[in-house]
Amino acid sequence: MFISGEWRDARSGGSFEVEDPATGEVIASVPDGGADDARAAVAAAHDAFKGWSTSTAAARADLLYRAWQLMTDRSEALAELMTREQGKPLKASRAEVKYAADFLRFYAEEATRVTGEWLPSARPDQRFLVLRQPVGVVAMITPWNYPVSMLTRKMAPALAAGCTLVLKAAEATPLCARAVFEIFEEAGTPPGVVNLVTALDPKPIGEVFTTDPHVAKLTFTGSTAVGRHLAGVAAGNLKRVSVELGGHAPFVVFPDADPVRAAKGAAALKFLNAGQACISPNRMYVHEQHEDAFVTTMVERVSKVRAGNGFDDGVGVGPLVDEAAVAKVADQVDDAVGRGADPLVGGHRLGDGEFTRGHFYAPTLLAGVGDGMKIYREETFGPVAPVITYGDVDEVIDLANDTNYGLAAYVYTRDFSTAIRAFEGLRFGIIGVNDVNPTAASAPFGGMGDSGIGREGSHDGIEEYLETKLGGFAL
């Protein structure tokens, strides 16, 4: 663990093993921290806050630029580590490292754009001055599915704003987190400004993060159930909270759309990271006149998606994170098939030969999916594409909105009016219109409802780490 500028073991002396999800091979062991380690990290961040928060914006920008350059220089090594630890294909790992580095560069620029303002007063002898200052110590909990970019998406704006931080890395991917913190150490981050805690059991760490009086803000990315609990406890202690949670994204193909183009986009997006992405499309609503063309194209595409070790050439789907994830996907598919869905491609676990020791599920296409099936209502987080046929265009937006989640949605149409009406009518934080990659460091990312509170990325992201202070001056 990295606390107060030093690499440390857990106070208990304990450790836990990290496995390659493709092979089951143990690749490393890391400290198994607990509440005492978390409290020490929070104390270190608290002690460092005064110095870091009063540093110049230029100094903070320079640090982030150095971190960006270092991450860029060692991108291949980071990508290989990610594929080994998390399992995604090497090509996808390379893309994620670049995305992660983009946040460092973007917020290096944003650090110098945090400004205040003069406000007019009705009194001639009064002036108002508004300052935006860092909130304080930030506790961060990050997920395993994007084990580098989800760190920089939180760390970069917090540091740019002048906050110090403690990060609890996902127990499945602590090695990627360690590599990121090595970059910040080498970039010259002052002791205590960034702190890393690793633990197999996240509960004691979460309790410290939500109750320690030195923590001013909690930011979490993960499941809705855990996020709701953490946000509730943190809010009860009057801490700032931002949470990015689950999704159940609709993918709507309107009658005027090109169904072949839509299917190509759906196939490319659905199997990214083996479907283990919160913005992955989970419900593909295809108009009945396009069902044959869409499904035919999807069958062709999905049949060509090869599962396997992310280091092997041509692999498009790596392993799932663990056996519980495989079981969840299998349960949803078996339930859907039992209720009448048709598994046109896949529909089964992969457990023979090269898949014997890993956590694999076959890339799957389900037709005939409908309400009443688990997969229609629950987030899958796996390589399964469910197709739902609809006939009434006037009702499809209501069908898409019929969920408590509100993170991402996708629309394919060639009509501008349809695009605008769908964009306005869908209750989701991110809408891709003929676009399956509506994300960037400069764009706001976040959802509504059970998908979370707050935004990451863009200038909105740095606002999450700033307090507004008003000064009234009598002349």
pLDDT attached to residue 277 = 96
pLDDT attached to residue 398 = 97
SS3 215: strand
pLDDT attached to residue 131 = 97
The one-letter code for the residue type at 5 is G
pLDDT attached to residue 105 = 98
pLDDT attached to residue 104 = 98
Active-site residue (options: 96, 110, 244, 464): 244
Pick from 125, 252, 230: which is nearest to 168 by CA?
230
From the candidate CATH numbers 3.40.605.10, 3.40.50.12780, 3.40.50.10490, 3.40.50.2300, the one assigned to the domain spanning 2-245+451-474: 3.40.605.10
The one-letter code for the residue type at 350 is L
Domain layout of the chain by residue ranges: 2-245+451-474, 249-441
* Active-site annotation holds for 163: no
According to CATH, the superfamily of the domain at 249-441 is Aldehyde Dehydrogenase; Chain A, domain 2 (3.40.309.10)
Taking the alpha carbons of 183, 189, 190, 194 in that order, is the dihedral positive or negative?
Answer: negative
Residues of the chain with pLDDT under 70: none
3-state SS string for 265-279: HHHHHHCHHHHCCCC
pLDDT attached to residue 267 = 97
* Active-site annotation holds for 176: no
Active-site residue (options: 278, 379, 456, 464): 278
Determine phi and psi for 439, rounding to 5 degrees: -135, 150
DSSP assigned state of 407: S
3-state SS string for 88-105: CCHHHHHHHHHHHHHHHH
pLDDT attached to residue 327 = 97
